[in-house]
């Protein structure tokens, strides 16, 4: 009696683990993580805290590679959320510089970098 219920518990646990893997797997395929986004855009931070001037080459390269890495809507929304929360944690960001930054780099980012951006509307 005790033995068979133990086997039952193991079977149920097994099924649950498999179900979890099936449910979780598609989400873990998102190509973009916040760590990637933040390190990619790190060269932009000193520029965004300054009064303007020339955009550092490393910053444009970062925006370009971020834009080509985030091709799908979920990836773009993830990147958007990461940018928003990272920028919100840095004081002294000049958002008028930030929103014009992709244009200055010749990149057509599908959203503007701003503190009030609605990432759920990013396509
Ligand atoms: C942001 O940058 C723009 C363009 O260089 C500048 O005119 C503006 O004064 C800056 N704003 C702040 C708050 O530093």
CATH number, domain with residue 67: 1.10.110.10
Q: Are 101 and 54 in contact (CB under 8 A)?
A: no
Q: Residue of the nearest CA to atom 8 in ligand 1?
A: 51
- Res. 102: pLDDT tops 50: yes
* 14 within some domain: no
Q: Would 17 be classed as within a structural domain?
A: no
Ligand 1 binding pocket mutation candidate from 52, 53, 55 (most atoms within 8 A of CB): 52
Work out the pLDDT band at 25, boundaries 50, 70, 90.
Answer: very low
Residue 103 lies in a domain: yes
Output the CA 61–ligand 1 centroid distance in Å: 23
Residue 30's nearest CA partner among 73, 80, 83 is 73
Residue 66, domain extent: 34-113
Q: How many domains does the chain have?
A: 1
Within a domain: 102: yes
In this structure, is the dihedral angle defined by the CA atoms of residues 27, 28, 29 and 30, taken in order, positive or negative? Answer: positive
Structure confidence by residue, pLDDT tens digits, 64-89: 999 999 989 999 999 999 999 999 99
Return all residues near 42 (Cβ < 8 A) that are at least 6 apart: 62
């Amino acid at each position: 009696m005790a033995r068979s219920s133990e086997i039952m518990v193991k079977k149920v646990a097994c099924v649950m683990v498999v179900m979890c893997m099936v449910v979780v797997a598609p989400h873990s395929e998102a190509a973009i993580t916040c760590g990637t986004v933040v390190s990619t855009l790190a060269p932009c931070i000193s520029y965004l805290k300054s009064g303007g001037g020339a955009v550092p080459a490393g910053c444009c390269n970062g925006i370009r590679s971020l834009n080509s890495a985030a091709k799908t809507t979920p990836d773009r929304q993830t990147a958007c959320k990461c940018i928003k929360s990272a920028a919100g944690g840095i004081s002294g960001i000049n958002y008028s510089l930030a929103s014009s930054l992709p244009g200055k780099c010749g990149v057509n980012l599908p959203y503007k970098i701003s503190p009030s951006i609605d990432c759920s509307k990013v396509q």
